[in-house]
């Protein structure tokens, strides 16, 4: 991994926060050097059975107690980081800057940004487009400012990397006024992950970051594919919301809009439809068993036909997008797999790429199933395209942007 050398700022500590609706995930880095000092998560915020866990200096720390809101969650985070026996730092004043994952920045944001009151207002302005994500993201920002005081804070947006999409890719075939007045368009998500792995792939190929054409596949419980041309995103499978595109763990992916009208006529209300499409569909809905590919592979191997069907549909949808993006891009250097399934699912990668040899895509099965090197090439000698497994590291990308913007005062160089 590329390192930023600057002795003037050795051992600067950067806190990275990812605040969900009922959770906080965090990592503490020493920069430059990319040293992961501590990481942990706080779950079930607002629940009487809240719990938290942390790993720091080889010491595990677990806490179970009621956590009323994100402010209380960050107070617990501070206690854990500074725990005398199992913590990572002596005092919060050791933290020099804080980076935040923010889901939606709309058309206004095309990169990571130092947080000020105007940016907070912008994040709030996009509450209606990301109602499950932007509100807790903003709560985390404000709670962190209160807890950490006057240190640089940086927002890294999931949508930012996809702001290079051309209009022909991001506009829906709806009346143009709906875009102009209501901001209905494709935004794309997982941008920090697609950006990170595309930059890593360029480094692995010995190319400049703006000198590669790639198809990047982020496959986890949420899934998306991006077409990267000359280092920039030009198309992506997720749309105005993270519901569009691939089949996912519990989300439908692409769906005939007429199904919505039909279900409305059958008595489904808006909240019921949202839950159906976001929480009860995808792999879980098809199989009736699980949203986890690992569980479904076991069931399929034991003869469960619906588990096998769910896996086939998942792979087929990814394969379709790869084919589409091969047509969109002016030549492709490689395909990248990342995310929990993309990194660890050897059988799923085989399902997705099966039968694509005529397009110059040919797996080496031994390399595909090897576990010795998490980051590796897995194509064989006949393959025209390179095929990569690159573990994503969104937290490091956020930490790097925060270090560059908040400490060095310059535009990020590694992952921008």
Q: What gap in Å lies between CA 416 and CA 162, rounded to an integer?
A: 12
What sign does the CA torsion over 293, 299, 302, 306 have?
negative
For the residues of 13-27, what is the DSSP string, one character each? EEEEEEE-SS-EEEE
Please work out, in degrees rounded to the nearest 5, the angle formed at the alpha carbon of residue 165 by the alpha carbons of 16 and 102: 20
Give the strand pairing for 95-102 and 59-64: unpaired
DSSP-derived secondary structure letter, 379: B
Which among 49, 158, 177, 364 is annotated as catalytic? 158
Q: Please, what is the end-to-end C-alpha distance for the chain in angstroms?
A: 15
Q: What gap in Å lies between CA 143 and CA 33, rounded to an integer?
A: 28
Active site residue 181: no
Residue 188's nearest CA partner among 149, 237, 115 is 237
For the residues of 120-166, what is the DSSP string, one character each? HHHHHHTTTTSTTTHHHHHHHHHHHHHHH-SS-EEEEETTGGGGG--
Q: What gap in Å lies between CA 248 and CA 252, rounded to an integer?
A: 7
CA distances 215 to 85, 210, 224, 232, Å, are 46, 14, 11, 11
Active-site residue list: 158
């Amino acid at each position: 991994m590329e390192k930023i050398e600057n002795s003037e700022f050795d051992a600067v500590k950067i806190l990275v926060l990812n605040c969900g609706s009922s959770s906080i995930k965090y990592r503490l880095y020493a920069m430059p050097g990319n040293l992961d000092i501590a990481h942990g998560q706080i779950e079930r915020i607002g629940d009487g059975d809240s719990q938290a866990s942390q790993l720091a200096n080889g010491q595990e720390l677990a806490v179970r107690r009621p956590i009323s809101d994100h402010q209380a969650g960050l107070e617990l985070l501070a206690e854990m980081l500074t725990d005398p026996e199992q913590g990572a730092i002596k005092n919060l004043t050791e933290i020099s800057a804080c980076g935040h994952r923010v889901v939606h920045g709309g058309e206004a944001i095309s990169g990571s940004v130092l947080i000020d009151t105007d940016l907070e207002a912008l994040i709030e302005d996009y509450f209606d487009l990301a109602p499950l994500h932007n509100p807790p993201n903003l709560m985390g920002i404000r709670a962190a400012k209160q807890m950490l005081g006057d240190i640089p804070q940086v927002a890294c947006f999931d949508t930012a990397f996809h702001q290079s999409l051309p209009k022909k890719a991001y506009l829906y075939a709806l009346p143009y006024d709906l875009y102009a007045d209501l901001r209905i368009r494709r935004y794309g998500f997982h941008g920090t992950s697609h950006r990170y792995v595309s930059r890593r792939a360029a480094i692995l190929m010995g190319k400049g970051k703006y000198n590669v054409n790639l198809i990047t596949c982020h496959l986890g419980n949420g899934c998306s594919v991006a077409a990267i041309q000359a280092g920039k995103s030009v198309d992506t499978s997720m749309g105005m919301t993270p519901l569009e595109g691939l089949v996912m763990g519990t989300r439908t992916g692409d769906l005939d809009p007429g199904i919505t009208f039909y279900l409305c006529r059958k008595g489904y209300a808006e909240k019921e439809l949202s839950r159906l499409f976001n929480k009860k569909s995808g792999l879980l809905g098809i199989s009736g068993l699980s949203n986890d590919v690992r569980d479904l592979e076991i069931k399929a191997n034991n003869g469960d036909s619906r588990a096998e069907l769910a896996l086939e549909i998942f792979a087929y949808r990814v394969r379709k997008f790869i084919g589409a993006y091969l047509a969109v891009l002016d030549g492709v250097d490689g395909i990248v797999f990342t995310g929990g399934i993309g990194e660890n699912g050897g059988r799923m990668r085989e399902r997705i790429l099966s039968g694509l040899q005529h397009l110059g895509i040919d797996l080496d099965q031994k390399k595909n199933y090897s576990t010795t090197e998490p980051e590796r090439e897995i194509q064989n000698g006949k393959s025209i395209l390179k095929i990569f497994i690159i573990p994503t590291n969104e937290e490091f990308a956020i930490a790097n942007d925060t270090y560059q913007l908040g400490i060095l005062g310059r535009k990020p160089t590694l992952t921008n």
